């Protein structure tokens, strides 16, 4: 009796699968994850010292700075914000200046004999002139009823007082104020210490680079940066990676 052995056939499914995938990729129906257009970058903030200033391609400014982990090459773009901080008195500020006051509002007060005292800002903790995005306040200051009051500076009472948001400033004209000016890259100097924020790429430890978002030339004598800027929490937001903002309607299924 003959025994019929079954003949096995090898199936070319693996090759077929790869072929199908390749055809799908060619036709654009297969989505392949892409690398971020921003590489291995991460948000960075910190105090750095400028070691070198030079011109890059297309007249952009390049800095070589030193921070606690070593040197970094910094690229300044057209979107980089550069600020110069100075301490001046209220009297030195021009009427019409943009003002931010950290204090407490007080309504109109009645005095003896029917005297009226205009609304005021009292318990003033800090005054900033210029471009400022007031940060969230520490719990201690909030507990004291302090808040940010912003407006335009006005000279009142024959120049003897100043007013913001229809409230008199309850402090003398000699009170120290932080004045912030937007400046160009040519104000930066070698050996100067600045606060730097941006996107750091340190994937190559020997050639670390950073795209600057902001460079702040701080006022060393200003002791209220924790309240007015909260520097430790000024990390730039992570940039959107390529493909992250695709709508579901664009998907092939």
- Contact criterion met (CB below 8 Å) for 153 and 162: yes
Q: What percent of the chain has pLDDT over 90?
A: 66
* pLDDT given at position 33: 33
Provide the β-strand partners of residue 181: 84
Confidence band, pLDDT 50/70/90 cuts, at residue 8 = very low
* Residue scoring higher pLDDT (83 or 23): 83
Task: State the pairing for strand pair 61-67/42-55.
Answer: antiparallel
Of 62, 84, 58, 73, which is closest to residue 178 (Cα–Cα)? Answer: 84
Could you tell me if 212 and 74 are in contact, meaning their C-beta atoms sit under 8 angstroms apart?
A: yes
Q: For residues 215 and 195, is the Cβ–Cβ distance under 8 A? A: yes
In CATH, 42-84+181-233 is 2.40.50.140: yes
Tell me the average pLDDT across 80-105.
97
Report whether pLDDT(249) > 90.
no
**Considering only CA atoms, which of 176, 209, 219 is closest in space to residue 83?**
219
pLDDT at 14 over 50: no
120 closest CA partner among 151, 178, 164: 164
Residues of the chain with CATH 2.40.50.140: 42-84+181-233
- In the predicted model, what is the mean pLDDT of the chain? 84
Under a CB-based contact definition with an 8 Å cutoff, are residues 177 and 88 in contact? yes
Pick from 30-39, 60-69, 196-205, 243-252: least confident: 30-39
Which residue matches tokens 């994937």? 203
Is residue 15 pLDDT above 90, yes or no? no
SS3 call for 25: helix
- Pick from 250, 234, 146: nearest CA to 195: 234
pLDDT band (50, 70, 90) for residue 154: very high
Q: What is the rounded CA–CA span in Å between residue 17 and residue 90?
A: 75
| Choice among 34-43, 90-99, 121-130, 156-165 with the minimum mean pLDDT | 34-43
What integer is the mean pLDDT of 87-112? 95
Q: Exposed, middle or buried by CB within 10 Å (0-12, 13-18, 19+), for 184?
A: exposed
The pLDDT of residue 172 is above 60:
yes
- % of residues, the chain, pLDDT over 70: 79
Question: Phi, psi (5° rounding) for residue 228?
Answer: -90, -25
């Amino acid at each position: 009796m003959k025994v019929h052995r079954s003949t096995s056939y090898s199936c070319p499914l693996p090759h077929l699968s790869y072929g199908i995938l390749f055809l799908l990729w060619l036709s654009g129906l297969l989505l392949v994850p892409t690398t971020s257009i921003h590489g291995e970058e991460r948000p960075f903030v910190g105090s750095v010292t400028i070691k070198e200033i030079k011109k890059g391609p297309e007249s952009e400014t390049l800095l070589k700075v030193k921070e606690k982990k070593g040197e970094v090459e910094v690229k300044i773009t057209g979107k980089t914000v550069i600020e110069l901080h100075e301490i001046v008195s209220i009297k030195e500020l021009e009427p019409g200046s943009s003002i931010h006051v950290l204090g407490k509002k007080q309504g109109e007060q009645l005095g003896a004999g029917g005297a009226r005292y205009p609304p005021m800002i009292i318990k003033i903790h800090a005054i900033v002139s210029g471009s400022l995005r007031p940060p969230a306040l520490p719990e201690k200051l909030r507990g004291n009823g302090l808040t940010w009051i912003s407006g335009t500076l006005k000279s009142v009472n024959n120049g003897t007082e100043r007013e913001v948001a229809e409230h008199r400033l309850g402090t003398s004209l000699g009170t120290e104020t932080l004045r912030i000016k937007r400046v160009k890259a040519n104000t930066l100097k070698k050996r100067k210490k600045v606060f730097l924020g941006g996107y750091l790429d340190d994937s190559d430890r020997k050639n670390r680079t950073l795209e600057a978002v902001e460079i702040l030339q701080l006022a060393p004598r200003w002791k209220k940066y924790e309240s007015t800027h909260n520097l430790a929490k000024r990390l730039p937001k992570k940039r959107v990676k390529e493909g992250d903002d695709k709508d579901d309607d664009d998907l092939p299924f």
